[in-house]
Structure 1
Amino acid sequence: MPQLEFPPQDKGAARNAATPRSQRRPGMRAILLGATAAVALTGAFTHSVLLPQAANAETPTLNVPVNAPNSSPVVGPVSFADVVDHVRGAVVSVKVKITETADNEEANTGNDMPQFAPGDPLERFFRRFGEQGGVPFNKHSGKPRTGQAQGSGFIISSDGYVVTNNHVVENATEVSLTTDGGQTLTASVVGTDKKTDLALLKINGSGTYPFVKFSNETPRVGEWVIAVGNPFGLGGTVTAGIISARGRDIGAGPYDDFLQVDAPVNRGNSGGPTFNAKGDVVGVNTAIFSPSGGSVGIGFAIPAEVAQNVITSLREKGTVARGWIGVQIQPVTAEIADSLGLKTSKGALVAEAQPNSPALSAGIRSGDVILGVDGERIDGPRELARKIAALGPGKSTNLMYWHDGSEKTVAVKLGNLPNDKEAKADITTRPDKNVLGDLGLTLAPAAQVPGAGDEGVVVSDIDPDGVAAQKGLRVGDVILEAGGHAVSRPAEIGATLSTAKKDGRKAVLMRVKNREGTRYVALATTPAS
């Protein structure tokens, strides 16, 4: 798979639009739609990242049965004009002044991103995605730089509350809005939520404004929708299309659950609404996939049900409080499921239960697999994270989990998701070597490695083509457990693998810690040659 790359900074939206396609950088971008940001003396910037594109990818052909039962020609509405007349007065263009400093940039390097196993495609995507963005500044002088950015938004109350994206107003020092009628208004930021990329503004001063409401109906794939926004700073622009898919995870945040929309949206549509045929908001436009920076009919919007909950919390409290059980989780692979005696690979494997957390207090331990919440089964870690977060702190929930070969249920009272990060050991030295040749591992007791702690066995060297490296182990990782038992010497790992092989087990679970957190790795008892 090709590595992710970054395009050079744009020198203005107009120039980018005028650049011949043959001269643009190829590749697939996931672009946050906050349009242009004119930086003092430096031009424009955009939040964008190139994604790998499958080689020799072909466009699939859709074959429709000629004699499908109960089928009839389906056409769009005669006109969207009535709906547009009803909603366009509530859609505004958002323009912000931005001041960026070195401290701001360091705060925006994506350190609050979820953890993934090494080699996971989402890990690479998250890192690239998190590093991009911000107004350039002189790192040596530390002097702040100022610029401007544009996006879209929509009014949700008669007294002037406005929804937009967090990345449109992040680091803003001034915010102004332009209505469909050309009136310019100033606004203040009430609150923002990075994890869902949403922000709530309030128009300054008193007044009564046209507004729209969020839809209470879940849009179906194939339904007509209308996007209204401020592409490339042009002002109120209307496009139409359909809901192409639901539940998209594009790696933008830990609670991704995007609608995919084929209504054309571009830079500057960020924060703007997508309406259904009734004129209710079904999504907040946030990102696009594009080889050129312009629309190719693949856009992503935050669903109304997600946005409504976040905006209500921002309006009432200025922040978003999410439920927290205090576990570090990872997907259940087929090998892990086999090692634990699970029939399927659904659920979320607990790599670590944090100290003083609700999960630990309820008896959930590392190596357990959370299978469901309040009687509903989960597919994987992201669904678990969304469900727990949505319940909110202080709520009680019943967790179904797999422990020591059987399914159990426990009541857990949720805490409040903290913002702090736990410290990680810094492992820099390599002591005496002990080799597990079949796995391509060189190990040493953690107690012999400064900064590694007193527990576990450190990976001091690794064959990059070996089995262990292919499973994501790296130099500096600390193996805490093998087969459910704590280890302190390399020989204990070898013995565990040998015993498991004699017992007919295909793999052994290793509990591994590094700077990024704790996870499980399944190592085969008989590595393939």
Structure 2
Amino acid sequence: MSPISILHRHRVAALLGAALIISPIVASFAESPNDVRNAVGTTQTPVAGVTAPNGSFAPIVAADKPAVVTVTTVMKGQPDVMSDASPLDGGGSPFDDYFRQFFGDQGMPGPKAPPQQSQRAEALGSGFIVGADGTIVTNNHVIDGASSIKVTLDDGTELPAKLVGRDAKNDLAVIKIKADKPLPTVKWGDSDKLMPGDQVLAFGNPFGIGTTVTSGIVSARGRDLHSGPFDDFIQIDAPINHGNSGGPLVDVSGNVVGINTAIYSPNGGSVGVGFAIPSDQAQKVVAKLMKGGEIEYGYLGVQIQPVTQDVASAIGLDHPGGALVSSVTEGSPAAAAGIQTGDLITGFAGQEIKDPKDLSRAVADVSPGKKETLDVWRNGKAMQLSVDVGRNGDDAQTASVSGDSGAPGNGQGARLPAIGLGLMDITPDIRQQMNLPDNQRGAVVAAVNPDKAAAASGVQPGDIIIAVNQMPVKSARQATQAIAQAGKSGRKSVLLLVERGDAQI
């Protein structure tokens, strides 16, 4: 569902248009339209459309379809842009033969300007009207980079649109048109009530053939595609294709529960694996965008990672949960509030934090400059800290989730056969070889037994252990004693704070 201007680099994207391609290995989609990736994998057969309880979805379609619009954007083309990358551009699309079979050249969508004469590219997407005054919601990637935006209503009326506000992190945008009469609208629904197996309908304009509705079910909730800090997608099996981006996903009551945003596709077309932004997430963002401009996100300045059962056991908790702080950015709001590496954040602004994503979203939703309370578990005790939430710039992340978790080898110095690692002090020679600062303290991992727990946890030779069970250690001996004490106390695991390069895990 990405703008057509990118398709000169990835021809397979012409099959998707407004549908982003998801990599089957890393499940990520491009952060910008110029970075869409081809997908590979095994073709899946989409699930057949489900049937409404009363035998037909016609009443829902009749009520919602008038509020679904087509969004067409124009981008200034670069010299290497292929104008035949989209059916809208009138040539070169993998679907050209299909269209000609049924419509002939006369019915082919889009202008017929020769490629060499075209200096612009058109992108196709969808949207839905949420305000009778002409306020429309769509995806940010549908309008990103547009020099002009046009909206086509369900009755065929074409109107120019202006951009009201956009948010790249959530991939949402609000545009507005002026009409001579109140426009039909759709209502927001409650996506939190959706469960796998619930029936849904997806609206949009695939391939520019006109507003279309497909049916399916919710396949899964809470999908994280690693596309941004707020990933919480609804996975659906209702077919969505090129042009569906920004269209509404509605429940059996006809209320919007999601915004169709991306698909996984090994072959360029729909295979029944689509993703929608939940309405509960989108509605909050849209409300802010309707006020104009871009959204300012709150910022803490911490690196965080998930709490596994082993980590919970190591710090004295009976169950996993919360966000473990692996590092604190110097000079950040978190540092000023007294947050320390090794702290477990269990609550923020009165909201329970169950995992790192909860913290990222909660902090992002707070206006910069606001004072909030953090619930922290430190050294076996619960405590509260007050933090002045900062402003998240383009180069700052609200509360960045670390992709690694680890524990520390088997070599010279202190030996720990139970977990399979060997530690060494930071001697002058080691400090010079590893280019460590003069104030660096801790225990260097000299070797790791591949058959022991440390290796399984991701510890690597060259790691530096700087804390054990949230207590700082300055030498191999201190680290050895702390780990041994954890074993004597009956704990089944030990929490190691490891420094690796410029990161702490």
- Structure 2 vs 1, CA of residues 448 and 312 (structure 1 numbering), >3 Å: closer, same or farther? same
Does residue 370 of the first structure (1) align with residue 354 of the second (2)? no
Aligned to 1:84: 61
Shift in Å, 1:320: 1.5
Encode CA deviations 1:453-477: one digit per residue, 9 max, x unaligned.
3324596876694755543345765
Q: Which amino acid aligns with 2:71?
A: V
Encode CA deviations 1:240-281: one digit per residue, 9 max, x unaligned.
233344333333322222223332212321111112344332
8 Å Cα contact 1:160/1:207 also seen in 2: no
8 Å Cα contact 2:127/2:246 also seen in 1: yes
8 Å Cα contact 1:33/1:269 also seen in 2: no
Task: Report the 3-state secondary structure (helix = DSSP H, G, I; strand = E; otherwise coil) of the residue aligned with 1:151.
Answer: strand
Q: Which moved more, 1:183-192 or 1:229-238?
A: 183-192
Map 1:98-497 to 2 at 5 A.
98=75, 147-203=121-177, 207-208=180-181, 210-218=183-191, 219-221=193-195, 222-373=197-348, 376-421=351-396, 438-439=420-421, 444=426, 447-448=431-432, 452-454=436-438, 455-456=440-441, 465=450, 468-474=454-460, 477-487=463-473, 489-490=475-476, 492-494=478-480, 496-497=482-483
Aligned to 2:401: none
Q: Which amino acid aligns with 2:323?
A: A
Q: Which amino acid aligns with 2:188?
A: S
Encode CA deviations 1:64-116: one digit per residue, 9 max, x unaligned.
xxxxxxxxxx9523433333233323322223344699xxxxxxxxxxxxxxx
- Equivalents in 1 of 2:307, 2:246: separation in Å? 35
Task: Report the 3-state secondary structure (helix = DSSP H, G, I; strand = E; otherwise coil) of the residue aligned with 2:291.
Answer: helix
Task: Report the 3-state secondary structure (helix = DSSP H, G, I; strand = E; otherwise coil) of the residue aligned with 1:345.
Answer: coil
Aligned to 1:9: 10
Task: Report the 3-state secondary structure (helix = DSSP H, G, I; strand = E; otherwise coil) of the residue aligned with 2:262.
Answer: strand
- Structure 2 vs 1, CA of residues 217 and 478 (structure 1 numbering), >3 Å: closer, same or farther? same
- Structure 2 vs 1, CA of residues 229 and 418 (structure 1 numbering), >3 Å: closer, same or farther? same
8 Å Cα contact 1:161/1:200 also seen in 2: yes
8 Å Cα contact 1:93/1:152 also seen in 2: yes
Map 1:494-509 to 2 at 5 A.
494=480, 496-498=482-484, 500-501=486-487, 505-509=491-495
Shift in Å, 1:349: 0.9
- Equivalents in 2 of 1:249, 1:242: separation in Å? 19
Q: Which amino acid aligns with 2:228?
A: G
- Structure 2 vs 1, CA of residues 440 and 239 (structure 1 numbering), >3 Å: closer, same or farther? farther
- Structure 2 vs 1, CA of residues 264 and 442 (structure 1 numbering), >3 Å: closer, same or farther? farther
Encode CA deviations 1:412-448: one digit per residue, 9 max, x unaligned.
44333343249xxxxxxxxxx9677742778856742
Q: Which moved more, 1:381-390 or 1:435-444?
A: 435-444
- Structure 2 vs 1, CA of residues 508 and 170 (structure 1 numbering), >3 Å: closer, same or farther? same
- Structure 2 vs 1, CA of residues 453 and 411 (structure 1 numbering), >3 Å: closer, same or farther? same
- Structure 2 vs 1, CA of residues 499 and 32 (structure 1 numbering), >3 Å: closer, same or farther? closer
Task: Report the 3-state secondary structure (helix = DSSP H, G, I; strand = E; otherwise coil) of the residue aligned with 1:335.
Answer: helix
Aligned to 1:94: 71
- Equivalents in 2 of 1:15, 1:163: separation in Å? 20
8 Å Cα contact 1:326/1:358 also seen in 2: yes
- Structure 2 vs 1, CA of residues 51 and 501 (structure 1 numbering), >3 Å: closer, same or farther? farther
- Equivalents in 1 of 2:502, 2:260: separation in Å? 31
Shift in Å, 1:15: 11
- Equivalents in 1 of 2:377, 2:254: separation in Å? 46
Instruction: Give me the TM-score of the superposition, normalised by structure 2.
Output: 0.70
Encode CA deviations 1:289-348: one digit per residue, 9 max, x unaligned.
344333333322112121111112122141123333332211112222122111111111
- Structure 2 vs 1, CA of residues 192 and 479 (structure 1 numbering), >3 Å: closer, same or farther? farther
- Equivalents in 2 of 1:332, 1:153: separation in Å? 39
Map 1:58-73 to 2 at 5 A.
none
Aligned residues: 425
Shift in Å, 1:410: 3.7
- Structure 2 vs 1, CA of residues 508 and 240 (structure 1 numbering), >3 Å: closer, same or farther? closer
8 Å Cα contact 1:214/1:308 also seen in 2: no
- Equivalents in 1 of 2:333, 2:28: separation in Å? 37
- Equivalents in 2 of 1:339, 1:51: separation in Å? 40
- Structure 2 vs 1, CA of residues 254 and 50 (structure 1 numbering), >3 Å: closer, same or farther? farther
8 Å Cα contact 2:448/2:459 also seen in 1: no
Encode CA deviations 1:340-363: one digit per residue, 9 max, x unaligned.
111111111111233344444443
Q: Name the % identity.
A: 38
Higher relative contact order (CA 8 A, sep 6+): 2
- Equivalents in 2 of 1:78, 1:509: separation in Å? 56
Q: Which amino acid aligns with 1:439?
A: L
8 Å Cα contact 1:32/1:48 also seen in 2: no
Q: Which moved more, 1:445-454 or 1:305-314?
A: 445-454
- Equivalents in 1 of 2:145, 2:413: separation in Å? 51
Q: Which amino acid aligns with 1:299?
A: G
- Equivalents in 1 of 2:42, 2:455: separation in Å? 23
Task: Report the 3-state secondary structure (helix = DSSP H, G, I; strand = E; otherwise coil) of the residue aligned with 1:370.
Answer: strand
- Equivalents in 2 of 1:208, 1:352: separation in Å? 55
Q: Which amino acid aligns with 1:404?
A: N
Q: Which amino acid aligns with 1:210?
A: L
Unaligned runs of 5+ residues in structure 2 are: 1-8, 18-22, 79-118, 398-410
Task: Report the 3-state secondary structure (helix = DSSP H, G, I; strand = E; otherwise coil) of the residue aligned with 1:254.
Answer: coil
Task: Report the 3-state secondary structure (helix = DSSP H, G, I; strand = E; otherwise coil) of the residue aligned with 1:401.
Answer: strand
8 Å Cα contact 2:71/2:125 also seen in 1: yes
Task: Report the 3-state secondary structure (helix = DSSP H, G, I; strand = E; otherwise coil) of the residue aligned with 1:342.
Answer: coil
Task: Report the 3-state secondary structure (helix = DSSP H, G, I; strand = E; otherwise coil) of the residue aligned with 1:309.
Answer: helix
Shift in Å, 1:408: 2.3
- Structure 2 vs 1, CA of residues 171 and 450 (structure 1 numbering), >3 Å: closer, same or farther? farther
